[in-house]
A and B are shown apart, each in its own frame.
Chain A
Amino acid sequence: MSNKKGLPAIIAASSLGTLIEWYDFYIFGSLATIISTKFFPSENPTAALLSTLATFAAGFVVRPFGALFFGRLGDLIGRKYTFLVTLVLMGLSTFLIGCIPSFETIGYAAPILVLLLRLLQGLALGGEYGGAATYVAEHSPVNERGYWTSWIQTTATVGLFISLLVIILTKGAMDEESFDNWGWRVPFWISIIMVGVSMIIRMRMSESPLFAKAKAEGKTSKNPLKESFGNKLNFKFVLLALFGATMGQGVVWYTGQFYALSFIQNTLHIEIAQASKLIMYGIGFATPFFLFFGWLSDKIGRKWIMMAGMLIAIIAYRPIYSKMYDAASTNNKQEVTASTTTERKTIDDPKHLGEKLDVALTTKHFTDGTILKETVKTRLSVAGNNNTESSVVLDNSSFWTLVWLVFVQVLFVTMVYGPIAAFLVEMFPIQIRYTSMSLPYHIGNGIFGGLLPAIATFLATRAAQANDVAIKAGTAIPYEKPFLEGLWYPIIVAGVSLVIGTIYINGRDKSIKD
Chain B
Amino acid sequence: MNQLKKYLGIVWILLGLAAGYYLVVNQAIPKFKSNNSEELIPAIIYAFVLMPIIVGGLIIFGKYALQGEYDFSNTETTNNAT
> On chain B, which size bracket covers the interface?
20 to 34
By a CB distance below 8 angstroms, the chain A residues around B12 are 243, 500
Say what secondary structure dominates the interface of chain A. Answer: helix
Q: Ordered nearest first, which 8 A-B pairs have the shortest CB separation?
A: A506-B82, A239-B61, A52-B41, A49-B37, A427-B80, A236-B64, A52-B38, A236-B69
Q: Is the CB of A49 within 8 A of B41?
A: yes
Q: Contact check, A458 vs B60: say whether CB atoms are below 8 A apart.
A: no
Given contacts A48-B38, A496-B15, A509-B79, contact A239 B60 (CB under 8 A): yes
Closest to A59 in B: B45
Which chain A residue lies CB-closest to B64? A236
Residues 447-464 of A contacting B (Cβ, < 8 Å): 447, 451, 454-455, 458
> By the criterion of a CB under 8 Å from any partner CB, how many residues of chain A are at the interface?
42
Q: Does B45 contact A56, Cβ atoms closer than 8 Å?
A: yes
A-B contacts besides A49-B37, A423-B80, A427-B80, 15 pairs, CB < 8 Å: A49-B41, A52-B41, A236-B61, A236-B81, A237-B78, A239-B57, A239-B60, A239-B61, A240-B61, A243-B61, A443-B57, A454-B42, A503-B5, A504-B5, A511-B79
B19 to chain A, nearest CB (A): 9
A52 contacts B61, C-beta separation under 8 Å: no
Contacts of A51 in B (CB 8 A): 38
Q: How far is the CA of A221 from the CA of B56 in the complex (A)?
A: 26
The distance in angstroms between the C-alpha atoms of A509 and B57, with both chains bound, is 26
Complex Cα gap A289–B78 (Å): 29
A57: which B residues are within 8 A, CB to CB? 41, 45
Are B57 and A242 in contact (CB-based, < 8 A)? yes
Contacts of A56 in B (CB 8 A): 41-42, 45
Minimum C-beta distance from B61 to chain A (A): 4
Q: A60-B45, A60-B50 are in contact. Are A504 and B81 (CB under 8 A)?
A: yes
A505 at the interface (CB under 8 A from B): yes
Shortest beta-carbon distance from B22 to chain A in Å: 9
Complex-state Cα separation, A235 to B15, whole angstroms: 20
A513 in the interface (beta carbon within 8 A): yes
With CB as the reference atom, state the residue of chain A lying closest to B61: A239
- Interface residue? A171 (CB, 8 A): no
Q: Across the interface, do A506 and B80 meet the contact criterion of CB distance under 8 Å?
A: yes
Q: Is the CB of A427 within 8 A of B79?
A: yes
B10 → chain A, closest Cβ, in Å? 14
Residue of B nearest to A499 (CB): B8
Q: Is B54 an interface residue (CB 8 A)?
A: yes
30 A-B pairs (CB sep. < 8 Å): A49-B38, A49-B41, A56-B41, A57-B41, A57-B45, A60-B50, A232-B64, A236-B81, A237-B81, A240-B80, A243-B12, A427-B79, A427-B80, A443-B53, A447-B50, A451-B50, A455-B27, A458-B26, A458-B27, A496-B15, A499-B8, A503-B4, A503-B5, A504-B5, A505-B82, A506-B80, A506-B81, A506-B82, A509-B79, A511-B79
A172 at the interface (CB under 8 A from B): no
Which residue of A has the minimal Cβ distance to B65? A504
| Interface assignment of A53: CB less than 8 Å from any CB of chain B | yes
CA distance A496 to B64 in the complex (A): 17
Interface residue A190 (Cβ < 8 Å from any Cβ of B):
no
Q: Is the CB of B70 within 8 A of A504?
A: yes
B residues near A (Cβ < 8 Å) are: 1, 4-5, 8, 12, 15, 26-27, 37-38, 40-42, 45, 49-50, 53-54, 57-58, 60-61, 64-65, 69-70, 78-82
B82 touches A504 (CB 8 A): yes
* List of A residues within 8 angstroms of B61 by Cβ: 236, 239-240, 243, 500
Q: For B40, what are the chain A residues with a Cβ–Cβ distance below 8 Å?
A: 49, 52
Q: Chain B contacts of A478 at CB under 8 A?
A: none
Measured in the bound complex, the distance between the Cα atoms of B28 and A454 in whole Å is 12
What distance in Å separates the Cβ of B47 from its nearest Cβ neighbour in chain A?
13
Nearest B residue to A447 via CB reads B50
Most buried by A among B5, B37, B50, B80: B80
Check if B79 sits within 8 Å of A239, measured CB to CB: no
CB distance from A40 to the nearest CB of B (A): 10
Could you say which residues of chain A place their CB within 8 Å of the CB of B27? 454-455, 458
B60 to chain A minimum Cβ distance, whole angstroms, is 6
Query: How many angstroms from the CA of A504 to the CA of B2 in the assembled complex?
Result: 9
In the complex, whether A138 has a CB less than 8 A from a CB of chain B is no
Q: Which residues of the partner chain B approach A48 to less than 8 Å between Cβ atoms?
A: 37-38
The answer, yes or no, to whether A45 is at the interface (CB within 8 Å) is yes
Output the residue of B1, B53, B61, B64 with the most chain A CB within 10 A.
Answer: B61
Q: Output the least CB separation between A388 and chain B (Å).
A: 23
Cα A185 to Cα B64 in complex, Å, equals: 50
**A485: interface (CB < 8 Å):** no
Which chain B residues border A235 with CB–CB below 8 Å?
60
List chain A residues, Cβ under 8 A from B82.
504-506
The CA of A89 and the CA of B13, in the complex, are separated in Å by 39
Contacts of A128 on B, CB cut-off 8 Å?
none
Chain B hits for A237, CB < 8 A = 78, 80-81
- Asked if residues A61 and B49 are in contact (CB atoms below 8 Å), the reply is yes
Between B12, B37, B41, the greatest number of chain A beta carbons within 10 A of the residue's beta carbon is seen for: B41
Complex: A61 Cα to B79 Cα, angstroms: 30
